[in-house]
Amino acid sequence: MLDDETAFLGRDKCAVAGIGQTAFARDSGRSVLSLATEAALKALEDAGLTVDDVDGIVRADVDTVTPYSLAAALGVNNLSYWGDTGPGGVAPCMMMGLAIGAILSGQAKTVIAFRSLNGRSEARLGGSGQRVGAETVGGFGTYDEYYLPYGLLSAGQTFALMAQRHMLEYGTTAEQLGAVALACREHANLTPHAQMQSKPLTMDEYLSARMISTPLRLFDFCLESDGACAVVITTAERARDLRKPSVLISGVAGGAPPDRRAGMMFPVVTRQDMTDLGGRRAGETLWKRAGLGPSEIDIAQLYDCFTISVILQLEAYGFCAKGEGGPFAASGAIRRDGSLPINTGGGHLSEGYVHGMNHIVQAVRQLRGEADMQIAGAETCLVTGGPLPVGSSVVFRKAS
C-alpha cells in the first residue's frame, strides 16, 4: 500500500472515451475474434476515433484473442504497446491500470481494453465437462492436485464454502443472498440488452430454485454468456475534445489478502479467514489513490460471479462492517432507489457475464447519463474485479 496518497500519478489523468459491446447471448454463432472486433469498432465509433488512432491493446490473460490478432482484424497499423493481466475476472480493472501506465509513460496514446468470450457456447467457465480425459490434474505450481481429485472443481463450489463460513460466523441468510439476486434482476428488467430483461424474479422463485452446491442455489450463480466488451482509454485532456462526455479514471488498485497462499482460487479454503478478500486491501489503496472514500461513491458495479461475492465486497470496500453485508444487501441499499445502487445494468447475475468488462461499460454509461436504468445524479462509480485470489478495483468519476 502507498503511504503517501500523492505518490499515485494517475488520478484523473486518463479517461474512458469510448465504449462498445456486442449482444450478450447463449450462442453467438461467431468467433471470439469477430466479437472482439465488433466491440472494439463500436468503442472507437463511440469515441469519435478510428483504428488509425489506436496504438495500444490490453486484454485478460484468459482471453484467446491476442492483442496482435485484434489489431490485425481491426486494421490497426500502429500497434506499439500491448499487455495482458489477470487472473481471469480480476483483469478488467487491472487493464485500466495497464492503460494508464502505458499512456502516462508515453508508450501509447490510445489504448483499447477488451474481453471477448463464448462463455456459454464454447468455453464454459463453470467447470462443466472440463478436464474429462485428462491424464492427471494439477502440478506445475497450480496446486490443483490438492483439490480437483476430490471433486472440488469449480468456482461455484469454492464460493459455496465461503458462503457457508459467512453464514456460520455472521448468520448470513439465504434471503440476504437472494436480495442480491433480486436487485440485479430488477435492474436487468429495466435494461433492454440484458439477458434476463424479460424475466422477473421473486424471492419465492429464488428460494425454491434448485440447489447447486449448498448453500448456493441456481440464482446465486451468474450467467454464462457469449459476448464482448471494449473500451477506449486516452488522456483526460484529449478525451475532453472527443464525441462523448469524459469519464475519468480517478484511481486503480489491486490488492492481495494478508493471509497469502500460493495457487489460484481453491487455496482460499486454507486462509484462516476464508471470507477476507484481497479486495479489502485493494480498497484501502484505492481510496487513497482516488482521493475519496466509500461514502462518496454514488453507485457501484461489484463483481457478481455469485451473490455471496457481492456481500463480501460490500464489506471489503467499506460500505458496511465485516459480517454486515447480508443485512446491508437486504436493507434495499443496493437497489436502484437505495443509497448504493449496484450492478445497474443487471450485472453478471442478470445482464451478462463478460468477465468484469461489462461492469466497466456500465459505469461509463451511468456517469455519462446515458444508461437505460439511469441513476440520477451519479457522479462517481466503483467497479471491482473478480474476488479470487486477489482483488482489483477502479473509481470512475464524471468529468466536471
208 binds another protein (CB under 8 A): no
122 binds another protein (CB under 8 A): no
- Pick from 108, 74, 331: nearest CA to 235: 108
149 binds another protein (CB under 8 A): yes
207 binds another protein (CB under 8 A): no
323 binds another protein (CB under 8 A): no
Residues 6+ apart with CB under 8 A from 267: 143, 146, 261, 389
Site residues (CB under 8 A) for another protein, limited to 151-170: 151-154, 157, 160-161, 164-165, 168
Binding-residue total with another protein (CB under 8 A): 48
Pull the grid cell for residue 389: 485470489
**Looking at beta carbons only, is 150 or 337 nearer to another protein?**
150
Which member of 145, 237, 273, 370 binds another protein (CB under 8 A)?
145
143 binds another protein (CB under 8 A): yes
287 binds another protein (CB under 8 A): no
Q: Which residue among 81, 147, 170, 353 is the active-site one?
A: 353
Whether omega for the bond prior to residue 267 falls within 30 degrees of 0, making it cis, is no
How, if at all, do strands 211-213 and 81-85 pair?
unpaired
Pull the grid cell for residue 96: 485500466
Catalytic residue status for 68: no
Which member of 210, 241, 295, 377 binds another protein (CB under 8 A)?
210
Asked if 301 contacts 93 with a C-beta cutoff of 8 angstroms, the reply is no
Cα separation of 398 and 374, whole Å? 14
136 binds another protein (CB under 8 A): yes
Q: Which residue among 170, 206, 303, 317 is the active-site one?
A: 303
Q: Cα separations (Å) of 22 from 1, 43, 90, 95, 364?
A: 37, 10, 21, 19, 16
Residue holding cell 506499439?
A: 80
Shortest separation between residue 162's beta carbon and another protein, angstroms = 8
Stretch that binds another protein, among 123-131, 286-294, 305-313, 336-344 (CB under 8 A): 123-131
129 binds another protein (CB under 8 A): yes
Shortest separation between residue 126's beta carbon and another protein, angstroms = 7
Whether omega for the bond prior to residue 87 falls within 30 degrees of 0, making it cis, is yes
**Looking at beta carbons only, is 9 or 262 nearer to another protein?**
262
Cα separation of 84 and 93, whole Å? 12
Asked if 113 contacts 91 with a C-beta cutoff of 8 angstroms, the reply is no
**Looking at beta carbons only, is 131 or 243 nearer to another protein?**
131
Catalytic residue status for 303: yes
Residue holding cell 450467467?
A: 223
Q: Which string of b and e fits 110-148 if b means at least 16 CB within 10 Å?
A: bbbbbbbbbbbbeeebbeeeeeeeeeeebeeeebbeebb
Return phi, psi of residue 153, to 5°: -115, -20
Residue window 242-271: x/- pattern of binding to another protein, with contact defined by CB under 8 A: ------------------xxxx---x-xx-
The binding site for another protein (CB under 8 A) comprises: 126-132, 134-141, 143, 145-154, 157, 160-161, 164-165, 168, 210-216, 260-263, 267, 269-270, 272, 274
Residues with a catalytic annotation lie at 303, 353
